[in-house]
Amino acid sequence: MPEPVLEVKGLTRRFGAFTAVSDLSFEVRAGEIFGFLGPNGAGKSTTIRMLCGVLAPSGGEARALGRNLFTEADQVRAHMGYMSQKSSLLTDLTVAENLRFFGGLYGLQGQALASEVEFRLREMQVWEHRNLLVAALSTGERQRVALASATLHRPRILFLDEPTSGVDPLRRRLFWEAMDELVAEGMSILVTTHNLGEADQCDRLAFILGGRLMAYGRPRSLKEALGRQLIELRTEQFRALQAAARAHPEVLAAELLGRSVRLSLPAGLDSARLLDQLHQEGFAFEALPPEPPSLEDLFVDLVQRARVA
């Protein structure tokens, strides 16, 4: 198993009486894309801001590349890159001027700076926009310029806070391809997203809610651990069938999906018997083959369980 490049233990942040991040522990391994999921206000950005040194923690520990992130920050910071949720690009400068500015902050200069800027802009497919003002760029282009500027100093660990929000599916794919290239260069990435298709592409995930870690692991294991099978029933009687299905105790959930009812059942349950019973109750429907749960099911399940608790 690859070494962890980042180890977080018991990380906590309070704002007055409110605890935004509570006793959070997780690891990011070398060469992985680690996804950070959770609803709005879950504490994702607060966690990243503490790890990047923008915000002081109220408690807990973090080690990065074998050093204490909070007491030996100077030795580690140079190896970290950060793309904040609100882009930090200067909109009244051109793309190239932005990169030269940020490269300068990382201590690059002269020919090294010029060649690093060109390499990154080409890699992110924004080289042809180098003389445009950042203000003139589309969201997708702007995010790729921000990624270029966060990686000029070739960091080992990269923190990306919702880098693809507002980016269309095609440009989002382009962005993820760029991330894959960065990983191939030897970077490890912690990324937050609300897009569960993206989350599925991560090597491992942490799901946080109310500042606490609720689920942690590979996307596939997390979905399996949910212990569900999902069956879609196509029917003209969707409302009545939904109500009838909900009356069966083994049905965990029955939701409307267009003109279908989507049943959530325990993974091991023999669904044929339930479907027979619903037929006998007088319903006409076509059942699609059972599907494993998605990350969206996991997300909804965790949020609902937290509400009940």
Beta strands 59-64 and 188-192 are unpaired
What is the contact mask toward Mg ion in residues 68 to 107, using x (rule: CB under 5 A)?
-----------------x----------------------
Scan residues 24-63 and list those touching Mg ion (CB under 5 A): 44-45
Which segments of 151-293 does DSSP mark as H helices, in order? 169-184, 196-200, 219-225, 238-246, 271-280
State yes or no: residue 44 binds ligand ATP (CB under 6 A): yes
- Per-residue binding string, Mg ion, 113-152, x by CB under 5 A, is ----------------------------------------
Among ligand ATP, Mg ion, none, residue 235 binds (CB under 5-8 Å by kind): none
Contact stretch for ligand ATP (CB under 6 A) within 4-12, 39-47, 91-99, 219-227: 39-47
Q: Report the distance separating Cα 97 and Cα 135, nearest Å.
A: 13
Asked if 262 and 238 touch (Cβ cutoff 8 Å), the reply is no
- Residues ≥6 apart with Cβ < 8 Å to 298: 207, 215, 222, 223, 226
Task: Judge contact between 211 and 50, C-beta under 8 A.
Answer: no
Q: Which is nearer to ligand ATP, 46 or 260 (CB)?
A: 46
Identify the three-state secondary structure at position 62: strand
Number of residues that bind ligand ATP (CB under 6 A): 11
Least distance between ligand ATP and beta carbon 213 (Å): 13
Contacts of 282 (CB under 8 A, 6+ apart): none
Surface-to-core class of residue 152, CB atoms within 10 Å of its CB (0-12 exposed, 13-18 middle, 19+ buried): buried
Where residue 88 falls (left for φ over 0; alpha for ψ -120 to 50; beta otherwise) is: alpha
Interface segment toward ligand ATP; rule CB under 6 A; list 44-52, 106-114, 118-126, 134-142: 44-52
Q: Binding string to ligand ATP for residues 82 to 121, with x set by CB under 6 A, is what?
A: ---x------------------------------------
Is residue 45 involved in binding ligand ATP (CB under 6 A)? yes
Chain positions contacting Mg ion, by CB under 5 A: 44-45, 85
